[in-house]
Amino acid sequence: MKLPSFISKIFKPESTPPEPKMRQPRIGLALGCGGAKALVHMGVLKVLEDHDIPIHAVSGCSMGAYVGALWASGVSADKMIHLAAEMGDKDSFKKLADPAVPPIKGLFYGHKIKDHLEATIGNPKIEELDRNFIAIAANLENYQRVVFDSGNLLEAVHASCAMPGIIVPVEVNGVRCVDGGVVDPVPVNVLKKYTDVDYVIAISTTPTLHDLDSDEAVEAIVVEVAENEAESAGAWFKSKFSSLGKKYNPIAKGNMLDTLRRSLKASQIRIAHDACRKADVAVFPVCNDSAWDEYERYEHFISLGAKETLAVIDKIKTLTEPVEDHDEVKEKMEEPAIVEKVDQELDQELDPNSDQNKKEENEQKDEPKTLPSES
């Protein structure tokens, strides 16, 4: 007696599933904002290069976007450190300034910084870079995050670096954009949403909530930064307003731009905290005793970035272990037609009036009878 086909399928021994295919993990790197403090990213990248950590995609905002654009374009960490030394020179720093006259929308246009980047990497499109790259800016029209993952790289970085009150807002495709650190100071989520990374390493220069909880840390931030700002590479343009006196100087402590900058920092601390919690590894090369424009301290910042990355390098190395290729598994699992076919056959065999069963009955009637053999 022939068993119905659906029963034979049920009792048919299953074949052993193939071994899962493994691949190298795709690691993303989120570089936070911070002005001169974001030069720590160069120290981070130097350590990652020295330990052969493969980075698949990079995201950045503000100065993090600038450093990330260099690296995604194929500029090595050593070359970037050389560029940082040039920016650390006060005379070179002055050459990058292009004062906005009158200073209504900002103090500087930022075009010379854009030109400086172009002199290093040319004028490529984001989709043409050696690594996947995303720059973040803030949309002043709808207050949303602007994600630059294609198009003109120089415009994206210019918009991402437009610090409110300092750099005139940058218009891209009719949208006024400012510093990405306003909305996403450590862009972890964009890597998970817009790229195919498996893991994310976050680099944050923003003071942590632990720093806020410590009275000593808060005092150090206020007192030491105030002292160092007078010595910074950017002090020369502050001096342009000094003749106005504190009462009319917008940059003076407690006045308009100082209040704006500190207010932004207060909001960034909590946003950065939440972003870093979503990363697989977070590095905190935070320098509370420095000002945002102390580019002459580039060696200190780069050394700090390298030191903090080395402290977690073993944890970072665990992210490089092979992972299962879920993309291939997903393709194998997406076979609904086979399941549907089995279900149809099962319904046909249980239904005596089905077309298939009627066809089989007719075939049986037409079969020739086997006669008994003659002895």
Give the H or E element holding residue 191: helix 189-194
Q: How far is CA 155 from the centre of its chain?
A: 18
Q: Are 116 and 96 in contact (CB under 8 A)?
A: yes
Q: Are 315 and 48 in contact (CB under 8 A)?
A: no
Q: Are 163 and 107 in contact (CB under 8 A)?
A: no
In the chain the first and final C-alpha atoms are separated, in Å, by 27
Q: Quick one: pLDDT band at residue 345, thresholds 50, 70, 90? A: very low
Q: Quick one: pLDDT band at residue 334, thresholds 50, 70, 90? A: very low
% of the chain at pLDDT higher than 70: 70
Q: Quick one: pLDDT band at residue 220, thresholds 50, 70, 90? A: very low
User: Quick one: average pLDDT of 327-331?
Assistant: 52
User: Quick one: average pLDDT of 225-242?
Assistant: 46
User: Quick one: average pLDDT of 47-56?
Assistant: 98
pLDDT at 291 (0 to 100): 81
Q: What are phi and psi of 314, to 5 degrees?
A: -65, -40
Query: Residues 288-314: pLDDT tens digits?
Result: 888 878 889 999 999 999 999 999 999
User: Quick one: average pLDDT of 277-298?
Assistant: 91
Question: What tokens appear for 246 in the block?
Answer: 């504190």
Predicted confidence (pLDDT) at residue 247 exceeds the cutoff of 80: no
Looking at 259-263, 273-277, 284-288, 343-347, which range is the least confident one?
A: 343-347
Q: Which residue has the higher pLDDT, 45 or 246?
A: 45
% of the chain at pLDDT higher than 90: 55
User: Quick one: average pLDDT of 119-130?
Assistant: 95
User: Quick one: average pLDDT of 170-174?
Assistant: 94
pLDDT at 214 (0 to 100): 57
Assign residue 146 a region (left: φ > 0; alpha: ψ between -120 and 50; beta: otherwise).
beta
pLDDT at 342 (0 to 100): 36
Q: Are 206 and 272 in contact (CB under 8 A)?
A: yes
* Average pLDDT over all residues of the chain: 80
Q: Are 279 and 217 in contact (CB under 8 A)?
A: no
User: Of the ranges 89-98, 267-276, 305-314, 334-343, which is most confident?
Assistant: 305-314
pLDDT at 249 (0 to 100): 56
